[in-house]
Structure formats: C-alpha cells, structure tokens
Structure 1
Amino acid sequence: MKLTDLAIRALQPNAQAKKYFDGNGLYLEVTKAGSKYWRWKYRFEGREKRLALGVYPNVSLKEARLLQRKAADLLRKGTDPATLKQKQSPITFRQVAEEWLAKQHQWKQNHRRTVVGRLNNDIYDLLGDRPIEELQPIDFLQALRHIEARGAHVTAHKVKGICGQICRYAVASCIIPSDPTRDLKGALTPPKRNHFAAFTTKEEAGALMRVMKGYNGFFVTKCALLMTAYTFTRQGELRHAEWTEIDLSERLWIVPAHKMKMKREHMVPLSDQAMELLLELRKVSGRGKYLFPSLRTDEKPISENACNGALRRMGFTKEEMTAHGFRAMASSILNEAGYNPDVIEMQLAHVPGNKIRAAYNRAQYLPERYKLMQDWADMLDAFESQKS
C-alpha cells in the first residue's frame, strides 16, 4: 500500500526506528525522535544499498518519488546513484548564508555586523557546515534553545528571523523545497521586557563574558566593556577615566567628584583581573590622557555609544543588555549571593537611603569593598568557564 501525505503526517515515533514503504524500494524511516527520512533501497553489482533522498517535510512525498525515479534511471544506465551523490559536494547552510549576505547591498554597516555576529556566535558552530537540505525544524529549534538557555530570548527570536530569511532565499534558489523554520511559530519563549536592559543570572553573565572576551573589534572598546563588567561603574565615569586617577600601587581608581553623578569622590578597588586589563591597556593608551581614547583622536574619550554599539555588534539587543546594565547585573548577582547590601550600595555609589547612613565617607567599607571587587571578578571568570 502506497503512502499518502495524510498518512505521513499522522505517523508517530516509536521506541525504535520504523520503516514505512511506498513502493519501488522507496520508504520513509521514522526515528525515535520523530524525524522522517526518505530512503531508497536498491542493488548495485549484487550488493544491497541505501540512498538518502532528504527529510520530510522538506522533501515531500511527490518530490521523494521523483528523486527515486531519477536515481533509478541512473541505475539502469549502470551508474551507482550513491557514488554519484558522494562526488557532489552538498551545499551547506553557511554557503547559502554567505551568498544571501552578499546580496544585501541596502543594509547599513552596523546592521550587517549585527547579523554576521549573530550567525557567527549562535548558528555557524551548530549548523553552518551541515547540508542545508538536511536541516529540519528541530535542528534550528535546538540551536535557538542554546540562545534561550542564556536568557537571551529577544536574540533567539531575532536569530530565528535571520535563519528564516536565509532558508527562504534557498527556496527561491531551488536549493531546498521549503523553509524549515516556518514550523517554529510559537516554539520559542516570548521575550520578557527588562526595564534595566541587563542580564541578571550567572548563566547570562557567563555567556556575556565569553562573547566579550572573543570580541575582535576596537581593542580600547573591548577593554572598556570588560572594565565596566569588573567595576560596574557608570558609563560617564568610565569613558572619561584618566590615567592620573589610577593608583596602580594601591590598586585603586579614584573618580573625582566632578565626574560623579552625585558630585562625591568615589573609590573603585581594582581586582587582579582589572589590574591585568589596565596593564595591557597602558601599552596602547598609557601615553595619553584617557584610558579609553577615541579611535579618531587621543584627545577625546570613546563616544557615549561605543560600548552599546559593541554589544549590538556582538548580537545583544538593546532590550537584553546595555552598558549601564552591568550595574544591575552585579547588584542582582551579588545580593543574591549574600554579600552585605550596604557594601554593594557603597560600591555602586548610590545615595544612602536614610539619615543613619547619610554621613558619606568615601572610604567607608573600603576593606570589604576590596574583597567584594575581587570576589566579583573571580565570579565572572567562573561563570565564563561554565559553558552550557
């Protein structure tokens, strides 16, 4: 009895893979996971062989029968269809994506960097080198689940859209019969809007650190982002930081009052990681005024959008993470870890909330703050090493 589309759609996975025959050696193999693979069983030079014809529903029943007939024609002419297929290099998802990217002439450079960054960070490692004709909805869903696992739900939806555009380009180019991402509607977690636009879990912080450590853009901007992570200072204070404010012997950054939001001098203890970063940065900008000079001139600091722009190029949306969000990230994780809230608030340079704590002392809790900042940097390193 021949297969029908209705019968195929109704097939359910079993404890073991099961074959459903259509005729002339063509059959559909349903795996334990529910994937449906077209196969053709034939004999060549006395040996029984199998030929993969694609995956349902990417390859429909009608298309599978057509492919089987073409393979049978080759067999009648004395050619082994499997051998011929092996000689033909399959078109990978990466190849289609690169061709699609090359045709987007209307894009602005920042948008192009964002799209390329998302493909490099979240898709190519898992799907890039696989034949696009073999990719199923579950393959894309598993890749998107990796993004969701770090809490980046908005990015997951954005990446799904990018993959859909690439697959639809492949359909238009007659490479695949249909877009496998179209069946993922409703499969992803709806993104939550975060008022602070910050990652606030250990997993999110670890993923963020891994991506930032691998950033290959402007070195000074990369250092500014990492310094923001280690010190969780405000962007205005960080951008305008000067080498005269850094006391390397005391491992201390003293921010002058006129640069602070509350016009009070602020002390930032420097962790081992921050010190190492500053020593590397000094080789680049140590002769100038600013720690983080502009790419165009040493006389000005990096722009107010430099760090946020770098985060966008790494694939993080403004709804997920901002440069200011490092403060919320540190506060959330440190408070959850049980550190003294007064020490955390002092290091955040927040205004005391009652009269008892209103007597401001720039060095208040300083020994505890040294320990806090080193512990925080060590925590970030630990989160970074714990890949999901």
Structure 2
Amino acid sequence: MLTNAAVRSARPKPCAYKLSDGEGLHLYVAPTGLKSWRVRFRVAGREQLLTVGQFPDVDLTAAREAAAAARDALRAGRDPREERAARVEVDRTFETVARGWHAHWRSSWTDVHAGDVITSLERDVFPAIGAIDVDDIGAGDIRDLLRAVEARGAIETAKRLRQRISKVFGYAIANELAEVDPSVAVRHALSAAPIAGEQLALITLDDARELLLASTAAGGPAIIDLASRFLALTAVRQGTLRGMRWDEVEGLDWTGDAIGPAAPVWRVPAARMKLAKAKKGDARFDHLVPLSRQAVEILRIVRAFGIDADLVFGQLSESAIGGLYRKAGFAGRHVPHGWRATFSTILNEKMPAERVTIDRALAHAGKGNVDVNIKVEGAYNRSKQIRARRRLMQIWADLLFPAA
C-alpha cells in the first residue's frame, strides 16, 4: 500500500507510470508531472478505468474513500463511471468536450467539413463513448468502436474517426480536462489503409459502366446516384463535388427550357482546390471543368428537384457515394476518388497522344517532360486548353453513357 510520503515524492519520468495502492486503486504519474488517482474495475467482463481526482486536490485518504464508493456501486450493479459523471461540476463527458472542440474550430472550417465532422461523431462515436468522462475512456473503448466501423468496410472512415477522436483529446488535455490521449495506441490496432497514393479504382470501361448501372439499380436517394454520375463524368475530387455551388456553373440559362450557350463550364474556385496556400486566393488558379451534355442533363435534373440550398447536391455526406458503391456490390473494388484513376487509365490507353490534356482535365501539375504550362492554367492560352478539354470530356461522357 502507498503512503502519503511516497505519493508526495513521486517524480515524473519520460514515460507515464503507476504506483499501486491495492484493490484496483493506483496513482498515475504523467510525464507532465500531473498525478491522478485511478481505479481499475470490471463491467460485463471488461476492464474499465475510473479517474477519481488529481493529487494534491485529492489526497490518499480521499482517493481510498472514492475507490471504496466505486466498489460499493459495482456490488449494487451500478457503473461508477456514470455516477461520477452525474456528480462532477464540470461536464467532462466525451460528447460535451467534442462539441466544445468542434465549436472552437468551426470558424476555420468550411460548412461541408464542419458538417462531416459532427455527423461522423454523432453516428459512430457518441453512441459508444459520448456519455463517458474523457479521463475514464480507455484504448479498448476506442478500439472497439473503430473496429465496428471497419466491420462495415469503412476502413478510411475508421482512420479519420481515430484522428478526430485524438484531436478531441488534444483539446481536452490543453484545457486540463484530461491527461492522456488513449487513441494514440489504437492506431496500431486498426486495419491497414490503402497504400499511399493508390485508390481502389476500376480500370476498364466495362467495369465502370457496370458500376454506374449497379449503383442506379441499388436504390436509395436519387440525389446520391446523380452525384455519383456527375463525379464520374467530371473526375474531380469528391470534396470538390460536395462543395459545388450553383453560382460556380457558367454558361447555362436556367430560365424556362433554355440551356443557353453551347459552352457550359464549372469554375471551381482556387480556394477549394488542392493547391499551395499562396495560390488559393488567386483566381488565376481557378479550375475550369468543361461540362459534357450528360453532365448538363444531370444538373438540369437536380435543379428540377428544387433543393433549397446553395450547394448543388445539398448536404451530401462524405460517405454517401462510397456507401452507394458498397450497396451496389463494389466494396473493395472502387471508391469515389477512384474515378480520377479510372478516367486517366482508360483515356490514356485509348488516346495516348492526349496525355497532357488528360492531366490538365485532372488539374495535375506537370511532371517530368509533361508540358509545364499545366502548372499555371491561368497564365496561358485558356481558350485553347478549354477547347481541347471540352472535346475530351465529351468523349469520356459518351464512353460512360453511350447513346442507345
């Protein structure tokens, strides 16, 4: 058993360590010098952890009394973590802390990203650990909820969730609401992510057509299927598509049945492109996406839905299109971002002389001997580039959706 002298003399070390007092109670000494009393116990066969206070605010006697109260609660069939959460003056439950973190960073995020973050937490994290005090959450709690996400095939989603959970704990530690981030160790227990730079993608035209047909047949909200088709036709990044606004579409007359000029284009602001920070405020780096007849038709259909939003496809979640592909039977074969690889692979095989135009259509910077003009689209002859790319995008659309 511990003594008051041993507790007072405990000094921080490069790695955290524990001093046991018996019956599950121990003093946790963090590298920062913080000392906290913790009680280990089991609920439904699983080991849990309860933090009962920090030393010297809570001395050895008070810590033993708290540990005894926790054991009494267990014998009565109650979870001592829930009782503590009800008693503490400051709400340190994970959901409350996470919402505080979200509010803190909200002004620096786009509406789409902010919606993604809170939706993902509400869907997968809060039901599992939202009601638990942040200092009582263990690595096992986080591991289990993330493995449940992986079990439905959402490997990347699980990885993003772990990162978001870790940021919540970082916020909690900075505000002295928690001492450690238990999610750090969990990254070693997650399934391997796809190799960096590689995305699951179909590389034959027949497979690409089959996916589009299967996605439509799979059912579900029509807006997701239309967004999927538009993504395939334009080969942009999924985040770019989800942030697409009606006022970014140029060359179309939405009044009556008129389509307007024969050269419609989607101007993606540089601020939403994958660019160096210095370029994001420069309109010269806006990315122009020529719209094929099929892409225009999709926009007209979506427009007719009358969605009351500035965003073309409304509040489309980051998992919506990927979920549609899994439902269509293409889990492990193709992801939304894969359309860029599909577009590049098929067109480069069919039209090898158009390599530069294909790279321009993807907003890729030049590499090797590729024309360096790709790097600064706005500084060169845009009209020539757009004509070549418009022709290319129409060829691609006709390949994906051939006339009956």
TM-score, with structure 2 as normaliser: 0.44
Higher relative contact order, structure no. (Cα contacts within 8 Å, ≥ 6 residues apart): 1
TM-score, with structure 1 as normaliser: 0.45
